Structure 1
Amino acid sequence: MDVSQQASERIVVGIDGSAASSRALAWALRQAALTGGTVEAVQAWEVPAAYGTGMMVIPNADEFEAAAKDTLARTVDQVAGNDPGVPVEQHVVAGHPAKALIGAAEGAALLVVGSRGHGGFVGTLVGSVSQYCVSHATCPVVVVREDD
């Protein structure tokens, strides 16, 4: 497979530590194995709004990033194990999850997200992040539904 074909088979998957994002990662790994692609697992983080305005200096912002890295690594390890069968890159991005995923998916073959992650309204069929991705991504989006 040449480099240009391999680049077109990049699958970006959103991770947030929820069961839905774990299922999305498992789906993305299976799809990448079928297409000869790679998986790029992306965990976004942002300082919660309860911490005040952006004008404040947040002394523990590094803790939010460290927690995101830990969540991402733990999720990839639990779902993919030591030998996922396809290359998996892990990226932690500061910013709103929906916008971070749209940015990460530029030029990707596919964006995969869970139907609902952490912070959503219980009972909704599609969360705000997945809805935003479906509406704004420049590549196809797969929304992996939660098991009943």
Structure 2
Amino acid sequence: MEPTTESSGRVIAGIDGSEHSARILKTAARIAGALKLRLDVICCWKEPGIYLAAEIPGGGFQEADILESEARRLVERTLSRAFGPERPTRMSVELRRGNPAKILVEESLNARMLVLGRRGGGGFLGLRIGSVAAACAAHAHCPVLVVNDDA
């Protein structure tokens, strides 16, 4: 394997705060540690799709601060479940507003690996793989590890 460059010296963990996000973080941290890479945790949030553009006031989406605050709380809880007080030293955490698949595929341009769950908390429970995992597996610019949520 070639030496890492500054742009590819990271493993990305895409989490959504679901109960399986801690397993994703632990897996990504082990890989990042073994490869001596930085761990970048990315949690994406977006407005519910039930609003029509005409219904959003001129000042923007009023509940955005509430949704971002809830995403931050879920990420903090997930970090605590995964690592307790001993968090990896070479780790960054970022909240991003927008489509998770699009954001993670864009971020994969500068990553050694993308680690995410096979499906999050939304959508249809019977799916084998969720839409974000499927899109990232199909379009990411780096290897993608999809972590199963089964014990």
Deviation at 1:84, TM superposition (A): 3.1
Paired residues in the alignment total 146
Q: How many angstroms apart in 2 are the aligned matches of 1:111 and 1:45?
A: 18
The amino acid of 2:39's aligned partner reads: V
Q: Could you say which residue in structure 1 is the equivalent of 2:41? A: 41
The amino acid of 1:30's aligned partner reads: R
The amino acid of 1:22's aligned partner reads: A
Change in Cα spacing, 1:127 to 1:99, as seen in structure 2 (3 Å) is same
Higher helix share: 1
Q: How many angstroms apart in 1 are the aligned matches of 2:36 and 2:68?
A: 31
2:128 to 125, 128, 139: 125
Q: How many angstroms apart in 1 are the aligned matches of 2:139 and 2:5?
A: 24
Q: Could you say which residue in structure 2 is the equivalent of 1:76? A: 79
Q: Could you say which residue in structure 1 is the equivalent of 2:18? A: 18
SS at match of 2:73: helix
Q: How many angstroms apart in 1 are the aligned matches of 2:115 and 2:31?
A: 10
Q: How does 1:94-109 map to 2 (within 5 A)?
A: 94-109=97-112
What are the superposed Cα offsets for residues 53-80 of structure 1, whole Å, 9 maximum, x if unpaired? 2661222211111111111122112212
Q: How many angstroms apart in 1 are the aligned matches of 2:85 and 2:29?
A: 13
TM-score in terms of structure 1 length: 0.88
Structure 1: tracts of 5 or more residues without a match: none
The amino acid of 1:10's aligned partner reads: R
Structure 1 position 56 matched with structure 2 position 78: no
What is the percent sequence identity of the aligned residues? Answer: 34
TM-score in terms of structure 2 length: 0.87
Change in Cα spacing, 1:85 to 1:94, as seen in structure 2 (3 Å) is closer
Deviation at 1:52, TM superposition (A): 2.8
CA RMSD of aligned residues (A): 1.9
What are the superposed Cα offsets for residues 11-66 of structure 1, whole Å, 9 maximum, x if unpaired? 01111111232211110011111111111111101110123326612222111111
The amino acid of 2:34's aligned partner reads: L
Deviation at 1:6, TM superposition (A): 6.0
Q: Could you say which residue in structure 2 is the equivalent of 1:30? A: 30
